[in-house]
Chains A and B, each alone.
Chain A
Amino acid sequence: MPRSGRFSLGRSAAVAGRVLAQIRRDRRTLGMLFAMPAVVMLIFGFALGGQVSNVPILVENQDAGYAASFGATGAALNVGSHVLASLQTDSAVSVTTGSFASGKLGVDSGTYFAAVLIPSNFSQVAFMQVQGRNASAAIQLYIDGTKPSVAANVLSALQGAVQNSSRVKGLSLVQQYAYGGKFSGLDVSLPSVIAFVLTFLVLLISLLTVSRETTSGTLPRLYTTPLTAIERLVGYTLSLLVVGIMMVVVVLAVGIGLFGAVVRGDPLLLFGAAVLYALSQVLLAVFLSNFARNEFQAVQLAPLIALPSMALSGMLVPVFSLPAWIQPISKVVPMYYANQLFEGIMLKGYGVGMMAYDLLVVVVIAVLFLALAMTTVKDRMDA
């Protein structure tokens, strides 16, 4: 027997054995122990494994071609068609053809990432360049500047296509950025950082708060009072909504006040959208806490939700660049809509009209979580 004053590895082993036995008995923790790293690794692996690809762009080829020197043989040169064909075979972009004007509108509404206009004299200028004559033509590019890395990829694809098609100088690119210009790295990352912080912290704090009721042993008394399960659930939601609003205030104050985040849209709409999203996360937490038996289990649920959300919501890689089979999953991740909302309001200056769909989806998500919470909340110890 080791003397009590000395360090005893045996006693430490007893503690370790006891902790492991507790974990072994806690099947949910055990499940998460294996499932969580596997799920997170899989999701991040798929999300980050590929390069930026399938960026939706619209191209209008106005190039009339140039037939002057090939008139006798009937052959005509159309460099614009070659550029278009080259872009269509490039997996970096997903090309739709149409009018440049509609493409610009599509960029403004988020349908396309860029709109490209190949001018009518494009082939003529290319031909004159070959002949050593002085001429110039410019491809117009209207591009979303809110994702600099994606913009760089589109630019590179376009430059490659032009290079492959003409191999002449004097064909330039005129870039115009949508939403009022280029953004700094901080500007473009802050909307999704705000979405992530609200996802993770509102969930974590809400889960901890609600699960404390379970561990404090007060539920057996509450079950015997006139308080109904739904009243209890609404009470949690109201109090946590206050917590959520406080967190939104802090997150926005730091983001805008300290980091000078760009807010091109209505700050009140931004605040409202953030509070609405925080409410959806509170309701998710209230729903999930119906299944957590202790605070430890509750704490594990927050990263289990937040980390895949980070990978799937477009925070790290644009959703259109994720593998095709993952993209539908992204559309059911609440944080995807938070990203859309915060990016739309902050960077693109969207108003309620443009954000109506995303706001509505967040409302639907909140109602869904409320319904799930209401149908799973217990009003008895054995319910």
Chain B
Amino acid sequence: MIECENLVKEFKEGNIRAVDGLTLSIRKGEIYALIGANGSGKTTTVNMMTGALAPTSGRVSVLGVEMPHGKRLVSGRIGVAPQEYSLYPDLTLEQNAGFFAKLYGMDSKRFRSRFEELNEILRLRGREHSLVSNLSGGMKRRASIECALLHEPEVVFFDEATVGIDPVLRAFLWDYFRSLRSNGLTILLTSHVMDEAGKADRIGLVRAGKLVDEGDPAALMARHNVSSIEDVFLKLSGKELTDA
């Protein structure tokens, strides 16, 4: 479903090697959490998976299509909630959602029913006509998730999507993600909140652009003989300062 092979991304500005030979494979219907410190290369990896960035070397494919060259073939089948809200602050929630729905070719009837359904799930009912700039941080985050899910994609990328969302709603969102997964949706999310990543089916730990370990949460904890994902992370990073 998502394949990365020896993926490398270098940025000339600052001479940075943000992703350094990353290889991973994500199966259909899986919730995969890419975790790592800020600056470890998670967002750059996601951007290469979604076609927003081109790899310097290596390969990345989504739904069997190589990115970024084939992104037009799959862009209607993937959904993305970027790390930044990536919404128009001077438009209402409905205007934002309506705009993205049109980009995905949704007709107004389908949009209306999907919008209402997601507003209910994401606790955004009543805020349809609020300007995005007037929404709280958590609401903006949910609005961003809503815009990524509107067109019922087969693969979604949530880049730090649950940051700023209160614990109750976050637990609810995870239930929702699991229900989506049972319907065949593949979810890749990034997080630097370790306990949250423990709810994923599999975890990939990224450090300095490299995948340092991977597996289901229980197996990872057992392998490193610790009781939490955070401890796994600390063990692998040598308890050094995490900002790369």
Contacts and interface: CB of A to CB of B under 8 A. Distances in A.
A291 to B, nearest CB: 16
Interface residues of B, number: 27
B105 A226 contact: yes
B47 A381 contact: yes
A225 B103 contact: yes
B75 A381 contact: no
A264 B196 CA distance: 74
Contacts of A226: 72, 75-76, 103-105
A270 B19 CA distance: 57
Interface stretch (A72-80, A129-137, A216-224): A216-224
A140 B51 CA distance: 73
Contact of A218 (B11, B75, B76, B87): B87
Contacts of A222: 103
B222 interface: no
A380 B75 contact: no
Contacts of B97: none
User: Which of A221, A222, A380 counts the most chain B CB atoms within 10 A?
Assistant: A221
B87 A225 contact: no
B89 interface: yes
A226 B150 CA distance: 14
Contacts of B72: 226, 228
Interface in A356-383: 380-383
Nearest to A232: B103
Nearest to B73: A226
Contacts of A228: 72
Contacts of B100: 221, 225
Contact of A223 (B51, B87, B105): B51
A227 interface: yes
A216 B89 contact: yes
A216 B88 CA distance: 7
User: Which of A222, A226, A383 counts the most chain B CB atoms within 10 A?
Assistant: A226
A216 B51 CA distance: 20
B219 interface: no
A220 B75 contact: no
Given A225-B75, A226-B72, A220 B52 contact: yes
B56 to A, nearest CB: 9
Contact of B75 (A216, A217, A224, A383): A224
Given A217-B86, A218-B86, A224 B50 contact: yes
Q: Size class of A's contact patch?
A: 10 to 19
Interface string B31-55: 0000000000000000100111110
A225 B79 CA distance: 8
B103 A224 contact: no
Interface in A92-139: none
Interface string B82-113: 10111111000000000010011100000000
A224 B104 contact: no
A223 B157 CA distance: 14
Contact of B85 (A217, A223, A225, A383): A217
Given A227-B103, A228-B72, A381-B47, A218 B88 contact: yes
Interface in B1-41: 11
Nearest to A225: B103
Interface string A178-217: 0000000000000000000000000000000000000011
Given A216-B89, A217-B84, A217-B86, A224 B78 contact: yes
User: Which of A223, A225, A226, A228 counts the most chain B CB atoms within 10 A?
Assistant: A225
Given A216-B88, A220-B86, A227-B103, A380 B78 contact: no
B89 to A, nearest CB: 7
Nearest to A220: B82
Contacts of B104: 225-226
B188 interface: no
Nearest to B43: A220
B47 to A, nearest CB: 6
A223 B86 CA distance: 11
A381 B11 CA distance: 11
A224 B52 contact: yes
B80 interface: yes
Nearest to A382: B53
A380 B87 contact: no
A225 B71 CA distance: 9
Contacts of B78: 224
Contacts of A382: 11, 53-54
Nearest to A383: B54
Given A217-B84, A220-B82, A381 B52 contact: yes
7 contacts: A217-B86, A220-B82, A224-B51, A224-B78, A225-B104, A226-B75, A227-B103
Which 8 pairs from chain A and chain B are nearest by CB?
A: A221-B86, A223-B52, A217-B84, A224-B50, A224-B80, A225-B103, A226-B75, A220-B82
Interface of A: 216-218, 220-228, 380-383
Given A380-B52, A380-B68, 15 more contacts: A217-B82, A217-B85, A218-B86, A220-B47, A220-B84, A221-B100, A223-B52, A224-B51, A224-B52, A224-B80, A226-B72, A226-B76, A226-B103, A226-B105, A380-B54
